[in-house]
Structure 1
Amino acid sequence: MNKLEIACFNLTSAVIAQENGADRVELCAGFEVGGTSPSFETTQKVRALITIDLNVMIRPRGGNFAYTDAEFEQMKLEIIAFKKLKVNGFVFGILNEDNSINTIQNAELVNLAKPFPCTFHRAFDEVSNVFQSLEEIIECGFQTILTSGQAKNVVDGANQLAELVLKASNRITIMPGGSLRAENLMSVQEKTKATFYHSSAIIDGSETANADEIRALKSILK
Protein backbone atom coordinates (compact mmCIF):
# COMPACT_ATOMS: atom_id res chain seq x y z
CA MET A 1 0.00 0.00 0.00
CA ASN A 2 1.41 3.39 -1.00
CA LYS A 3 1.53 6.01 1.73
CA LEU A 4 0.44 9.61 2.25
CA GLU A 5 2.10 12.45 4.17
CA ILE A 6 0.09 15.58 4.94
CA ALA A 7 1.86 18.92 5.39
CA CYS A 8 0.18 20.52 8.41
CA PHE A 9 0.50 24.17 9.37
CA ASN A 10 -1.57 23.97 12.56
CA LEU A 11 -2.77 21.59 15.23
CA THR A 12 -6.21 21.18 13.66
CA SER A 13 -4.73 19.93 10.39
CA ALA A 14 -2.63 17.33 12.19
CA VAL A 15 -5.68 15.91 13.95
CA ILE A 16 -7.67 15.93 10.68
CA ALA A 17 -4.80 14.14 8.94
CA GLN A 18 -4.76 11.35 11.50
CA GLU A 19 -8.53 10.98 11.66
CA ASN A 20 -8.81 10.61 7.88
CA GLY A 21 -6.13 8.06 7.21
CA ALA A 22 -2.86 9.91 6.63
CA ASP A 23 0.24 7.85 7.33
CA ARG A 24 2.42 10.75 8.45
CA VAL A 25 2.27 14.43 9.34
CA GLU A 26 4.90 16.94 8.28
CA LEU A 27 4.50 19.77 10.79
CA CYS A 28 5.46 23.30 9.73
CA ALA A 29 4.79 26.95 10.41
CA GLY A 30 5.13 29.70 7.80
CA PHE A 31 2.43 28.68 5.35
CA GLU A 32 2.98 31.82 3.28
CA VAL A 33 6.65 30.95 2.61
CA GLY A 34 6.22 27.24 2.01
CA GLY A 35 7.04 26.08 5.51
CA THR A 36 9.35 26.95 8.39
CA SER A 37 10.12 25.37 11.74
CA PRO A 38 7.04 25.05 13.96
CA SER A 39 7.14 26.24 17.54
CA PHE A 40 8.17 23.87 20.29
CA GLU A 41 4.80 24.41 21.99
CA THR A 42 2.76 23.56 18.89
CA THR A 43 4.87 20.48 18.23
CA GLN A 44 4.41 19.35 21.82
CA LYS A 45 0.64 19.68 21.50
CA VAL A 46 0.56 17.82 18.19
CA ARG A 47 2.70 15.01 19.56
CA ALA A 48 0.30 14.63 22.48
CA LEU A 49 -2.71 14.34 20.16
CA ILE A 50 -1.54 12.13 17.30
CA THR A 51 -0.04 8.66 17.22
CA ILE A 52 0.86 8.49 13.51
CA ASP A 53 4.38 9.45 12.50
CA LEU A 54 5.29 13.10 13.02
CA ASN A 55 8.07 14.71 11.01
CA VAL A 56 9.11 18.27 11.85
CA MET A 57 10.43 20.85 9.42
CA ILE A 58 13.70 22.53 10.35
CA ARG A 59 13.88 25.79 8.41
CA PRO A 60 14.72 29.08 10.14
CA ARG A 61 13.10 31.37 7.54
CA GLY A 62 11.55 31.58 4.11
CA GLY A 63 13.55 32.53 1.06
CA ASN A 64 16.59 30.73 -0.23
CA PHE A 65 18.21 27.67 1.31
CA ALA A 66 21.73 28.97 1.96
CA TYR A 67 21.99 29.82 5.63
CA THR A 68 24.24 31.96 7.78
CA ASP A 69 26.33 30.43 10.53
CA ALA A 70 23.82 31.72 13.08
CA GLU A 71 20.90 30.18 11.18
CA PHE A 72 22.73 26.87 10.94
CA GLU A 73 23.33 26.90 14.70
CA GLN A 74 19.61 27.59 15.19
CA MET A 75 18.77 24.54 13.06
CA LYS A 76 21.02 22.36 15.20
CA LEU A 77 19.44 23.61 18.41
CA GLU A 78 15.94 22.97 17.04
CA ILE A 79 16.78 19.37 16.16
CA ILE A 80 18.16 18.77 19.65
CA ALA A 81 15.04 20.26 21.23
CA PHE A 82 12.52 18.44 19.02
CA LYS A 83 14.22 15.08 19.56
CA LYS A 84 13.12 15.30 23.19
CA LEU A 85 9.47 15.36 22.06
CA LYS A 86 9.77 11.92 20.47
CA VAL A 87 9.01 13.10 16.96
CA ASN A 88 9.64 10.55 14.21
CA GLY A 89 11.83 12.46 11.78
CA PHE A 90 13.09 15.77 10.43
CA VAL A 91 12.67 17.69 7.18
CA PHE A 92 15.31 20.16 5.96
CA GLY A 93 17.66 20.98 3.12
CA ILE A 94 20.67 23.26 2.84
CA LEU A 95 22.14 24.55 -0.41
CA ASN A 96 25.25 26.53 -1.25
CA GLU A 97 24.93 29.96 -2.83
CA ASP A 98 25.23 28.38 -6.30
CA ASN A 99 22.30 26.02 -5.54
CA SER A 100 24.50 22.97 -5.15
CA ILE A 101 24.04 20.67 -2.14
CA ASN A 102 25.86 21.79 1.01
CA THR A 103 27.01 18.28 1.82
CA ILE A 104 28.95 19.24 4.95
CA GLN A 105 26.10 21.00 6.73
CA ASN A 106 23.44 18.53 5.61
CA ALA A 107 25.48 15.53 6.75
CA GLU A 108 26.08 17.21 10.11
CA LEU A 109 22.35 17.70 10.67
CA VAL A 110 21.53 14.15 9.54
CA ASN A 111 24.04 12.81 12.04
CA LEU A 112 22.68 15.07 14.76
CA ALA A 113 19.15 13.84 14.07
CA LYS A 114 20.05 10.15 14.47
CA PRO A 115 18.39 7.77 15.11
CA PHE A 116 15.55 9.69 13.48
CA PRO A 117 15.31 9.67 9.65
CA CYS A 118 15.58 12.84 7.60
CA THR A 119 13.81 14.09 4.48
CA PHE A 120 15.47 16.54 2.10
CA HIS A 121 12.69 19.00 1.29
CA ARG A 122 11.84 20.99 -1.82
CA ALA A 123 15.12 22.87 -1.74
CA PHE A 124 15.85 19.97 -4.10
CA ASP A 125 13.72 21.70 -6.73
CA GLU A 126 16.24 24.57 -6.78
CA VAL A 127 19.39 22.49 -7.33
CA SER A 128 21.48 23.05 -10.42
CA ASN A 129 22.44 19.42 -11.16
CA VAL A 130 19.53 17.18 -10.27
CA PHE A 131 21.08 13.72 -10.60
CA GLN A 132 24.42 14.67 -9.05
CA SER A 133 22.42 16.22 -6.20
CA LEU A 134 20.44 12.99 -5.80
CA GLU A 135 23.67 11.06 -5.25
CA GLU A 136 25.02 13.66 -2.80
CA ILE A 137 21.81 13.60 -0.77
CA ILE A 138 21.97 9.82 -0.56
CA GLU A 139 25.59 10.11 0.55
CA CYS A 140 24.58 12.58 3.29
CA GLY A 141 22.31 9.90 4.76
CA PHE A 142 18.83 11.22 3.96
CA GLN A 143 16.09 8.61 3.61
CA THR A 144 13.59 10.65 1.54
CA ILE A 145 13.53 13.50 -0.98
CA LEU A 146 10.39 15.65 -1.25
CA THR A 147 10.22 17.09 -4.76
CA SER A 148 7.93 18.28 -7.54
CA GLY A 149 10.45 17.09 -10.10
CA GLN A 150 11.85 20.63 -10.32
CA ALA A 151 8.58 21.88 -11.84
CA LYS A 152 5.90 24.22 -10.52
CA ASN A 153 3.79 21.16 -9.62
CA VAL A 154 3.91 17.36 -9.65
CA VAL A 155 1.92 17.10 -12.87
CA ASP A 156 4.44 19.16 -14.83
CA GLY A 157 7.30 17.38 -13.08
CA ALA A 158 5.97 13.84 -13.46
CA ASN A 159 8.49 12.74 -16.10
CA GLN A 160 11.41 14.00 -14.02
CA LEU A 161 9.91 12.34 -10.93
CA ALA A 162 9.65 9.04 -12.76
CA GLU A 163 13.32 9.25 -13.73
CA LEU A 164 14.31 10.11 -10.17
CA VAL A 165 12.40 7.10 -8.83
CA LEU A 166 14.28 4.88 -11.29
CA LYS A 167 17.68 6.38 -10.50
CA ALA A 168 17.02 6.25 -6.75
CA SER A 169 16.63 2.48 -7.20
CA ASN A 170 15.35 1.88 -3.66
CA ARG A 171 18.36 3.65 -2.13
CA ILE A 172 16.19 6.61 -1.10
CA THR A 173 12.45 7.34 -1.26
CA ILE A 174 11.39 9.90 -3.86
CA MET A 175 8.21 11.52 -2.49
CA PRO A 176 6.25 13.59 -5.05
CA GLY A 177 4.81 16.80 -3.61
CA GLY A 178 3.74 20.17 -4.96
CA SER A 179 0.07 20.88 -5.73
CA LEU A 180 -0.69 17.17 -5.38
CA ARG A 181 -4.44 16.65 -5.11
CA ALA A 182 -6.91 13.81 -5.52
CA GLU A 183 -7.74 15.06 -9.01
CA ASN A 184 -4.19 14.50 -10.27
CA LEU A 185 -2.85 11.79 -7.95
CA MET A 186 -3.84 8.83 -10.11
CA SER A 187 -1.97 10.09 -13.17
CA VAL A 188 1.08 11.05 -11.08
CA GLN A 189 1.07 7.66 -9.39
CA GLU A 190 0.80 5.78 -12.69
CA LYS A 191 3.61 7.79 -14.27
CA THR A 192 6.09 7.97 -11.39
CA LYS A 193 5.58 4.62 -9.62
CA ALA A 194 6.48 6.40 -6.35
CA THR A 195 5.45 4.79 -3.06
CA PHE A 196 5.04 7.84 -0.75
CA TYR A 197 3.12 11.01 -1.65
CA HIS A 198 2.92 14.46 -0.04
CA SER A 199 0.03 16.95 -0.01
CA SER A 200 -1.25 19.77 2.17
CA ALA A 201 -4.81 18.68 1.25
CA ILE A 202 -5.77 22.36 1.41
CA ILE A 203 -8.45 23.11 -1.18
CA ASP A 204 -10.34 26.13 0.15
CA GLY A 205 -7.79 28.92 0.48
CA SER A 206 -7.37 28.37 4.21
CA GLU A 207 -4.31 26.98 6.01
CA THR A 208 -6.13 23.85 7.20
CA ALA A 209 -6.22 20.40 5.63
CA ASN A 210 -9.55 19.19 4.23
CA ALA A 211 -10.84 15.88 5.59
CA ASP A 212 -12.64 14.89 2.39
CA GLU A 213 -9.54 15.58 0.32
CA ILE A 214 -7.37 13.39 2.56
CA ARG A 215 -9.86 10.53 2.31
CA ALA A 216 -9.98 10.95 -1.46
CA LEU A 217 -6.20 10.88 -1.71
CA LYS A 218 -6.01 7.74 0.43
CA SER A 219 -8.70 6.01 -1.59
CA ILE A 220 -6.62 6.43 -4.77
CA LEU A 221 -3.34 5.17 -3.33
CA LYS A 222 -2.91 1.46 -4.00
Structure 2
Amino acid sequence: MANLEIACFNTQSARIAQEFGADRVELCAGMEVGGTTPSVADILAVRSDLQILLNVMIRPRGGNFVYSGEEFEQMKSDIIHFKTLGIDGFVFGILNPDDTVNLDQNKILVDLASPLPCTFHRAFDDVTDYNSALEDVVNCRFSTILTSGCESNVDAGMKNLRELVKLAGERITIMPGGGLRSTNIGTILKETGARYYHSSAITDGSDTAVGEEVQRLKSALI
Protein backbone atom coordinates (compact mmCIF):
# COMPACT_ATOMS: atom_id res chain seq x y z
CA MET A 1 0.00 0.00 0.00
CA ALA A 2 1.29 3.46 -0.93
CA ASN A 3 1.04 6.53 1.29
CA LEU A 4 -0.71 9.87 0.85
CA GLU A 5 0.45 13.38 1.78
CA ILE A 6 -2.00 16.28 1.68
CA ALA A 7 -0.75 19.82 1.11
CA CYS A 8 -2.66 21.98 3.60
CA PHE A 9 -2.87 25.76 3.49
CA ASN A 10 -4.88 26.18 6.68
CA THR A 11 -5.55 24.36 9.93
CA GLN A 12 -8.96 23.11 8.80
CA SER A 13 -7.40 21.28 5.84
CA ALA A 14 -4.99 19.51 8.17
CA ARG A 15 -7.83 18.25 10.34
CA ILE A 16 -9.75 17.09 7.26
CA ALA A 17 -6.66 15.32 5.89
CA GLN A 18 -6.28 13.32 9.09
CA GLU A 19 -9.98 12.57 9.47
CA PHE A 20 -10.28 11.15 5.96
CA GLY A 21 -7.21 8.96 5.96
CA ALA A 22 -4.09 10.87 4.90
CA ASP A 23 -0.76 9.58 6.18
CA ARG A 24 0.98 12.95 6.35
CA VAL A 25 0.28 16.68 6.11
CA GLU A 26 2.52 19.20 4.38
CA LEU A 27 1.68 22.51 6.06
CA CYS A 28 2.16 25.68 4.01
CA ALA A 29 0.93 29.23 3.68
CA GLY A 30 0.62 31.14 0.39
CA MET A 31 -1.46 28.83 -1.77
CA GLU A 32 -1.55 31.48 -4.50
CA VAL A 33 2.22 31.14 -5.02
CA GLY A 34 2.46 27.39 -4.56
CA GLY A 35 3.27 27.40 -0.86
CA THR A 36 5.40 29.39 1.58
CA THR A 37 6.52 29.07 5.19
CA PRO A 38 3.51 28.87 7.54
CA SER A 39 3.20 30.83 10.78
CA VAL A 40 4.32 29.46 14.13
CA ALA A 41 0.74 29.81 15.36
CA ASP A 42 -0.56 27.57 12.57
CA ILE A 43 2.20 25.00 13.13
CA LEU A 44 1.37 24.80 16.83
CA ALA A 45 -2.37 24.57 16.18
CA VAL A 46 -1.97 21.81 13.61
CA ARG A 47 0.54 19.88 15.69
CA SER A 48 -1.87 19.85 18.63
CA ASP A 49 -4.64 18.49 16.38
CA LEU A 50 -2.69 15.80 14.50
CA GLN A 51 -1.58 12.32 15.33
CA ILE A 52 -0.37 11.73 11.76
CA LEU A 53 2.95 13.03 10.43
CA LEU A 54 3.44 16.77 9.95
CA ASN A 55 5.96 18.24 7.50
CA VAL A 56 6.44 22.00 7.26
CA MET A 57 7.45 24.01 4.20
CA ILE A 58 10.42 26.36 4.43
CA ARG A 59 10.06 28.89 1.62
CA PRO A 60 10.37 32.61 2.42
CA ARG A 61 8.50 33.83 -0.69
CA GLY A 62 6.91 32.77 -3.92
CA GLY A 63 8.65 33.06 -7.26
CA ASN A 64 11.91 31.39 -8.15
CA PHE A 65 14.04 29.18 -5.92
CA VAL A 66 17.22 31.28 -5.91
CA TYR A 67 17.47 33.05 -2.56
CA SER A 68 19.35 36.06 -1.26
CA GLY A 69 21.71 35.84 1.69
CA GLU A 70 19.05 37.34 3.93
CA GLU A 71 16.41 34.88 2.72
CA PHE A 72 18.76 31.95 3.27
CA GLU A 73 19.45 33.10 6.83
CA GLN A 74 15.69 33.25 7.42
CA MET A 75 15.33 29.67 6.17
CA LYS A 76 18.08 28.54 8.55
CA SER A 77 16.48 30.37 11.46
CA ASP A 78 13.04 28.90 10.71
CA ILE A 79 14.38 25.35 10.63
CA ILE A 80 16.19 25.79 13.95
CA HIS A 81 13.05 27.21 15.57
CA PHE A 82 10.52 24.82 14.04
CA LYS A 83 12.53 21.79 15.13
CA THR A 84 11.46 22.64 18.67
CA LEU A 85 7.74 22.50 17.79
CA GLY A 86 7.36 18.74 17.49
CA ILE A 87 7.11 18.51 13.70
CA ASP A 88 8.22 15.45 11.72
CA GLY A 89 10.06 16.87 8.70
CA PHE A 90 10.81 19.82 6.43
CA VAL A 91 10.07 20.69 2.79
CA PHE A 92 12.33 23.05 0.82
CA GLY A 93 14.57 23.32 -2.21
CA ILE A 94 17.19 25.80 -3.41
CA LEU A 95 18.46 26.19 -6.97
CA ASN A 96 21.34 28.07 -8.56
CA PRO A 97 20.65 30.80 -11.14
CA ASP A 98 21.28 28.23 -13.91
CA ASP A 99 18.52 25.96 -12.47
CA THR A 100 20.91 23.38 -11.08
CA VAL A 101 20.63 22.19 -7.47
CA ASN A 102 22.47 24.43 -4.99
CA LEU A 103 24.50 21.77 -3.23
CA ASP A 104 26.07 23.96 -0.55
CA GLN A 105 22.92 25.69 0.69
CA ASN A 106 20.74 22.58 0.57
CA LYS A 107 23.33 20.56 2.50
CA ILE A 108 23.47 23.23 5.20
CA LEU A 109 19.69 23.15 5.64
CA VAL A 110 19.51 19.35 5.62
CA ASP A 111 22.22 19.28 8.30
CA LEU A 112 20.32 21.84 10.40
CA ALA A 113 17.13 19.80 10.05
CA SER A 114 18.79 16.53 11.09
CA PRO A 115 17.64 14.10 12.36
CA LEU A 116 14.33 15.13 10.79
CA PRO A 117 13.89 14.08 7.12
CA CYS A 118 13.68 16.62 4.32
CA THR A 119 11.68 16.70 1.10
CA PHE A 120 13.04 18.56 -1.95
CA HIS A 121 9.90 20.26 -3.26
CA ARG A 122 8.78 21.13 -6.76
CA ALA A 123 11.77 23.37 -7.33
CA PHE A 124 12.91 20.07 -8.82
CA ASP A 125 10.53 20.63 -11.72
CA ASP A 126 12.54 23.71 -12.77
CA VAL A 127 15.82 21.86 -13.27
CA THR A 128 17.16 21.45 -16.78
CA ASP A 129 18.54 17.91 -16.32
CA TYR A 130 16.56 15.74 -13.94
CA ASN A 131 19.09 12.90 -14.08
CA SER A 132 21.93 14.98 -12.66
CA ALA A 133 19.52 16.87 -10.36
CA LEU A 134 18.38 13.57 -8.88
CA GLU A 135 21.97 12.65 -8.05
CA ASP A 136 22.56 16.09 -6.52
CA VAL A 137 19.48 15.83 -4.30
CA VAL A 138 20.51 12.35 -3.18
CA ASN A 139 23.98 13.75 -2.45
CA CYS A 140 22.40 16.43 -0.25
CA ARG A 141 20.79 13.62 1.80
CA PHE A 142 17.14 14.49 1.20
CA SER A 143 14.74 11.64 1.87
CA THR A 144 12.09 12.55 -0.74
CA ILE A 145 11.61 14.48 -3.98
CA LEU A 146 8.20 16.00 -4.70
CA THR A 147 7.85 16.30 -8.47
CA SER A 148 5.45 16.27 -11.39
CA GLY A 149 8.18 14.73 -13.52
CA CYS A 150 9.57 18.13 -14.58
CA GLU A 151 6.40 18.87 -16.54
CA SER A 152 3.38 21.04 -15.75
CA ASN A 153 1.51 18.19 -14.06
CA VAL A 154 1.80 14.50 -13.27
CA ASP A 155 -0.12 13.43 -16.37
CA ALA A 156 2.32 15.20 -18.69
CA GLY A 157 5.26 14.03 -16.59
CA MET A 158 4.24 10.39 -16.20
CA LYS A 159 7.03 8.99 -18.39
CA ASN A 160 9.65 11.01 -16.50
CA LEU A 161 8.15 10.00 -13.16
CA ARG A 162 8.41 6.36 -14.12
CA GLU A 163 12.07 6.85 -15.03
CA LEU A 164 12.81 8.83 -11.86
CA VAL A 165 11.31 6.11 -9.65
CA LYS A 166 13.50 3.56 -11.43
CA LEU A 167 16.65 5.70 -11.18
CA ALA A 168 16.03 6.52 -7.52
CA GLY A 169 15.61 2.91 -6.45
CA GLU A 170 15.85 2.65 -2.66
CA ARG A 171 18.08 5.72 -2.35
CA ILE A 172 15.31 8.33 -2.18
CA THR A 173 11.52 8.42 -2.42
CA ILE A 174 9.99 9.96 -5.56
CA MET A 175 6.63 11.46 -4.61
CA PRO A 176 4.40 12.39 -7.58
CA GLY A 177 2.47 15.63 -7.09
CA GLY A 178 1.10 18.47 -9.16
CA GLY A 179 -2.34 17.99 -10.66
CA LEU A 180 -2.80 14.72 -8.76
CA ARG A 181 -6.45 13.87 -8.11
CA SER A 182 -8.58 10.83 -7.41
CA THR A 183 -9.34 10.69 -11.14
CA ASN A 184 -5.73 10.02 -12.16
CA ILE A 185 -3.94 8.68 -9.07
CA GLY A 186 -4.71 5.07 -9.97
CA THR A 187 -3.05 5.46 -13.35
CA ILE A 188 -0.03 7.23 -11.86
CA LEU A 189 0.32 4.45 -9.26
CA LYS A 190 0.11 1.74 -11.91
CA GLU A 191 2.53 3.44 -14.29
CA THR A 192 5.18 4.60 -11.80
CA GLY A 193 4.99 2.28 -8.80
CA ALA A 194 5.83 5.22 -6.51
CA ARG A 195 5.37 4.70 -2.77
CA TYR A 196 4.17 8.18 -1.74
CA TYR A 197 1.72 10.61 -3.41
CA HIS A 198 0.97 14.30 -2.88
CA SER A 199 -2.22 16.27 -3.47
CA SER A 200 -4.03 19.30 -2.06
CA ALA A 201 -7.34 17.42 -2.46
CA ILE A 202 -8.98 20.74 -3.34
CA THR A 203 -11.78 20.20 -5.85
CA ASP A 204 -14.21 23.02 -5.10
CA GLY A 205 -12.17 26.14 -5.90
CA SER A 206 -11.54 26.96 -2.24
CA ASP A 207 -8.27 26.81 -0.29
CA THR A 208 -9.37 23.86 1.84
CA ALA A 209 -9.06 20.12 1.27
CA VAL A 210 -12.28 18.22 0.48
CA GLY A 211 -12.71 15.25 2.78
CA GLU A 212 -14.32 13.00 0.22
CA GLU A 213 -11.46 13.67 -2.21
CA VAL A 214 -8.89 12.75 0.44
CA GLN A 215 -10.83 9.54 1.04
CA ARG A 216 -10.97 8.70 -2.68
CA LEU A 217 -7.25 9.40 -3.10
CA LYS A 218 -6.35 7.15 -0.20
CA SER A 219 -8.71 4.40 -1.32
CA ALA A 220 -6.99 4.28 -4.70
CA LEU A 221 -3.69 3.49 -2.99
CA ILE A 222 -4.91 0.53 -0.97
> What TM-score bracket applies, with the shorter chain setting the length?
over 0.9
Moved over 2 A (4+): none
The residue aligned with 1:181 is 181
The residue aligned with 1:212 is 212
CA distance in 1, matches of 2:57, 2:97: 21
Alpha-carbon distance, 1:22 to partner: 0.2
SS state at 2:56 partner: strand
1:8 pairs with 2:8: yes
Q: Which consecutive residues of structure 2, in runs of 5 or more, have no partner in the other structure?
A: none
SS state at 2:85 partner: coil
Q: What is the RMSD of the two structures over their aligned residues, measured on CA atoms?
A: 0.5
Alpha-carbon distance, 1:129 to partner: 1.3
CA distance in 2, matches of 1:200, 1:56: 14
SS state at 1:82 partner: helix
Q: Deviations over 1:150-204 (max 9, x none)?
A: 1111011011000000000110000000010000011111111101000000001
The residue aligned with 2:194 is 194
Query: Aligned letter for 1:219?
Result: S
Query: Aligned letter for 2:7?
Result: A
What's the TM-score once normalised by structure 2's chain length?
A: 0.99
Q: Deviations over 1:47-80 (max 9, x none)?
A: 0111100000000000000000000000000001
1:127 pairs with 2:132: no
SS state at 1:174 partner: strand
CA distance in 1, matches of 2:41, 2:185: 33
What's the TM-score once normalised by structure 1's chain length?
A: 0.99
Q: Which consecutive residues of structure 1, in runs of 5 or more, have no partner in the other structure?
A: none
The residue aligned with 2:172 is 172
CA distance in 2, matches of 1:113, 1:167: 25
The residue aligned with 1:117 is 117
SS state at 1:55 partner: strand
Query: Aligned letter for 1:145?
Result: I
The residue aligned with 2:19 is 19
CA distance in 1, matches of 2:199, 2:207: 12
CA distance in 2, matches of 1:96, 1:152: 21
Seq. identity, %: 59
Query: Aligned letter for 2:151?
Result: A
The residue aligned with 1:155 is 155
SS state at 2:184 partner: helix
Query: Aligned letter for 2:149?
Result: G
The residue aligned with 2:74 is 74
Number of matched pairs: 222
Alpha-carbon distance, 1:128 to partner: 1.2
CA distance in 2, matches of 1:197, 1:155: 13
1:143 pairs with 2:152: no
